[in-house]
């Protein structure tokens, strides 16, 4: 019994050992028949199994794009609520067929959608007439009434004779500052200033070619300083300094003779004495002296200062005959 059990045990070990070293193959047998797989053999890993389920491809769904807002805008909407302040151009918010950009000859300019030319320039869509009116109504409570007595241009020109002109620029540049915006121009009629003969003559010498004798306008332009406020203060300083300096009489100015005068003045010329002597010839009464007429003085000054021409000579002739009392 013991020998029989030992024999069976040895056969079992051999069988197990053979199962461990057995080589499996999926190739067909030479005779065309498949190798019969025992129950004890390992299963073949088939990567291309026919019963393998194919995974469904994931479909990508595009999100629905809403239509532009401009297509739903009413014609009577409040535009100030759509575009309340300055901002970059947005095509979906502007219900206008705006076009801008360079194209080939004969083609229409690019539309407002994806147009960089419209987005990089400043726009004034926030300054429409209704928006300006609404803003004016909002700040109206902070304004004061117009001063009485300045209803016409002649009245405020008489009270405010100095005009200050400056310019603001709007440009499509990286900076909003323009170097020409610092320039300040001051204009003033010379007749608005009070001068005597000496002060007016000296003032005209100081201002030089800034004075236009035909229009009687003095123009002072200041652009030396970097800021507009500084140029305005400098221009007002020049006007004030020239005005007050013209009334100062230096010691060397007393030596100015009649030949040094720029214009002919009847009152300070020796011809005044000559005319009075001719008019008062043989009149011994000093209390009843005759003087030259206003028309004669004006015609004589125009003739000497403006030059001789047919009109000035005829005018001077008429005034002389009228003053002396000769018959034509």
Phi first, then psi, for residue 170 (nearest 5°) are: -120, 120
Parallel, antiparallel, or unpaired: how do β-strands 184-189 and 163-166 relate? antiparallel
**Band (174; pLDDT cuts 50, 70, 90):** confident
Residues 197 and 111 in one domain: no
Which of 204, 237, 255 terminates a domain? The answer is 255
- Give SS3 for 183: coil
Q: Confirm whether pTM is higher than 0.85.
A: no
The tens digit of pLDDT for each residue in 278-290 reads: 887 777 666 677 7
What is the rounded CA–CA span in Å between residue 239 and residue 193? 11
Residues 192 and 284 in one domain: no
Which is nearest to 207 in space by CA: 242, 233, 237, 231? 242
Structural domain includes residue 54: no
Q: Which residues pair with 184 in a beta bridge?
A: 166, 222
Structural domain includes residue 208: yes
**Band (186; pLDDT cuts 50, 70, 90):** very high
The reported pLDDT for the residue numbered 138 is 92
Which of 121, 143, 165 terminates a domain? The answer is 143
Structural domain includes residue 66: no
Higher pLDDT, 7 or 231: 231
Non-local (6+) Cβ contacts of 324 within 8 A are 279
Structural domain includes residue 26: no
Q: Which of 48-57, 91-100, 236-245 has the lowest mean pLDDT?
A: 48-57
CA dihedral (104, 107, 109, 113) in degrees, to 10, reads -110
CATH number at residue 220: 3.30.160.20
**Band (156; pLDDT cuts 50, 70, 90):** confident
Residues 207 and 272 in one domain: no
Count Cβ atoms below 10 Å from residue 203 Cβ, excluding itself: 20
- Give SS3 for 285: coil
Domain extent at residue 282: 258-324
Residues 113 and 158 in one domain: no
Q: Taken in order 222, 224, 226, 232, is the CA torsion positive or negative?
A: negative
The reported pLDDT for the residue numbered 149 is 85
Count Cβ atoms below 10 Å from residue 189 Cβ, excluding itself: 14
Residues 237 and 307 in one domain: no
The tens digit of pLDDT for each residue in 117-138 reads: 998 888 899 999 999 999 999 9
Count Cβ atoms below 10 Å from residue 223 Cβ, excluding itself: 16
Q: Does residue 128 contact residue 110 with C-beta atoms inside 8 Å?
A: no
Residues 135 and 162 in one domain: no
Structural domain includes residue 280: yes
Structural domain includes residue 35: no
The DSSP code sequence of 223-267 is --SSSHHHHHHHHHHHHHHHHHHHT---GGGGG--GGG-SS--ST
Q: Does residue 305 contact residue 264 with C-beta atoms inside 8 Å?
A: yes
The tens digit of pLDDT for each residue in 73-108 reads: 888 889 899 999 899 999 999 998 899 888 888 888
> Domain tally for the chain?
3
Q: Does residue 187 contact residue 215 with C-beta atoms inside 8 Å?
A: no
Which of 202, 236, 255 terminates a domain? The answer is 255
Residue 208, CA distances (Å) to 175, 203, 212, 219, 246 in order: 37, 9, 10, 11, 13
Structural domain includes residue 216: yes
Residues 163 and 120 in one domain: no
Structural domain includes residue 56: no
CA dihedral (194, 198, 199, 203) in degrees, to 10, reads 120
The reported pLDDT for the residue numbered 18 is 42
């Amino acid at each position: 019994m013991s020998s029989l059990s030992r024999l069976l045990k040895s056969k079992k070990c051999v069988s197990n050992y053979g199962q461990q070293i057995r080589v499996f193959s999926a190739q067909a047998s030479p005779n065309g028949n498949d190798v019969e797989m025992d129950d004890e053999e390992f299963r073949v890993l088939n990567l291309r199994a026919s019963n393998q389920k194919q995974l469904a491809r994931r479909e990508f769904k595009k999100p629905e794009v809403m239509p532009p807002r401009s297509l739903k805008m009413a014609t009577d909407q409040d535009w100030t609520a759509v575009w309340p302040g300055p901002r970059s151009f947005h095509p979906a918010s502007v219900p206008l067929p705006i076009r801008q950009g360079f194209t080939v000859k004969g083609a229409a300019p690019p539309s407002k959608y994806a147009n960089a030319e419209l987005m990089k320039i400043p726009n004034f869509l926030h300054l429409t007439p209704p928006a300006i009116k609404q803003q004016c109504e909002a700040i109206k409570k902070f304004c004061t009434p117009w001063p009485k007595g300045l209803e016409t241009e002649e009245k405020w020109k008489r009270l405010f004779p100095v005009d200050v002109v400056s310019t603001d620029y709007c440009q499509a540049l990286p900076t909003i500052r323009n170097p020409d915006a610092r320039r300040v121009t001051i204009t003033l009629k010379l007749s608005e200033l009070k001068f005597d003969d000496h002060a007016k003559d000296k003032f005209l010498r100081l201002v030089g070619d800034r004075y236009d004798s035909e229009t009687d306008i003095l123009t002072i332009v200041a652009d030396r300083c970097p800021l507009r406020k500084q140029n305005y203060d400098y221009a007002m300083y020049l006007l004030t300094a020239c005005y007050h300096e013209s009334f100062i009489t230096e010691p060397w100015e007393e030596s100015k003779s009649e030949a040094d005068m720029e214009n002919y003045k009847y009152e300070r010329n020796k011809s005044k004495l000559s005319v009075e002597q001719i008019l008062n010839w043989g009149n011994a009464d000093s209390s009843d002296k005759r003087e030259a007429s206003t028309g004669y003085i004006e015609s004589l000054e125009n003739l000497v200062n403006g030059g001789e021409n047919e009109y000035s000579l005829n005018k001077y002739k008429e005034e002389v005959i009228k003053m002396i009392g000769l018959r034509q």
